[in-house]
Chains A and B, each alone.
Chain A
Amino acid sequence: GAVVSQHPSWVICKSGTSVKIECRSLDFQATTMFWYRQFPKQSLMLMATSNEGSKATYEQGVEKDKFLINHASLTLSTLTVTSAHPEDSSFYICSAREWGKNTEAFFGQGTRLTVV
């Protein structure tokens, strides 16, 4: 199946700094990528939908200025957590669907962010 690579797998940063997470579709083109956040022992919460070449669509309650999403190409989307605080510590997962095909979403391996 299609492969989605997420980097880094884990990151520890100091409070107040920014962290960038990359999501790449390795062997297919993805016009749309999705960013999720998963709290401990909870389900995935969709944060935003990233569309190539346009602004991301954020879910209600997600701060646009804090979680910056860029989808510069058909194979890369980035999520930047700006001015991170300990409450931003979480597991972030991206997913992508192949353009033009009615297939399942393929998920990255996730990024464990810890803000200290």
Chain B
Amino acid sequence: GDSVTQMEGPVTLSEEAFLTINCTYTATGYPSLFWYVQYPGEGLQLLLKATKADDKGSNKGFEATYRKETTSFHLEKGSVQVSDSAVYFCALSDESGGYQKVTFGTGTKLQVIP
């Protein structure tokens, strides 16, 4: 079955530091890949997405590139801010079987300190 593996957290960074959160996946078909962000006490918000190999998703300074050869979708940001503190979920959606299920990674908590 499909699965998503994320680096374990928590990740603690100083403001303006470089962020990388690793994400790898296994899927039977050709999935779309997503990063979601969850702020404390809230639901999930889509951060960025990529629907095919070599696509780069970007939003709010975050980027991730769909790497089919390494089955990865690592999240990066050049300079984090305190307001980026949240839990980040890597996810995939594989509709090869016509089933719109989204599979999530375990989430990585990011804490940015001033």
Give the interface of A toward B (CB within 8 A).
1, 6, 32, 34, 41-44, 46, 49, 93, 95, 97, 102, 104-110, 112
- Whether B105 contacts A43 by the Cβ 8 Å rule is yes
For A1, the chain B residues whose CB sits under 8 A away are: 46
Residue interface bits B24-46, CB-to-A below 8 A is 1, else 0: 00000000101010000111111
Contacts A44-B44, A106-B46, A107-B44 supplied; 18 other A-B pairs, CB < 8 Å: A1-B46, A41-B109, A44-B104, A46-B101, A46-B103, A49-B99, A97-B100, A102-B51, A102-B95, A104-B34, A104-B49, A105-B93, A105-B100, A105-B102, A107-B43, A107-B45, A108-B43, A110-B42
Main secondary structure of the interface of A (DSSP, over half): strand
**Contacts between chains A and B (CB distance < 8 A), count:** 50
Q: A43-B107, A108-B43 are in contact. Are A102 and B101 (CB under 8 A)?
A: no
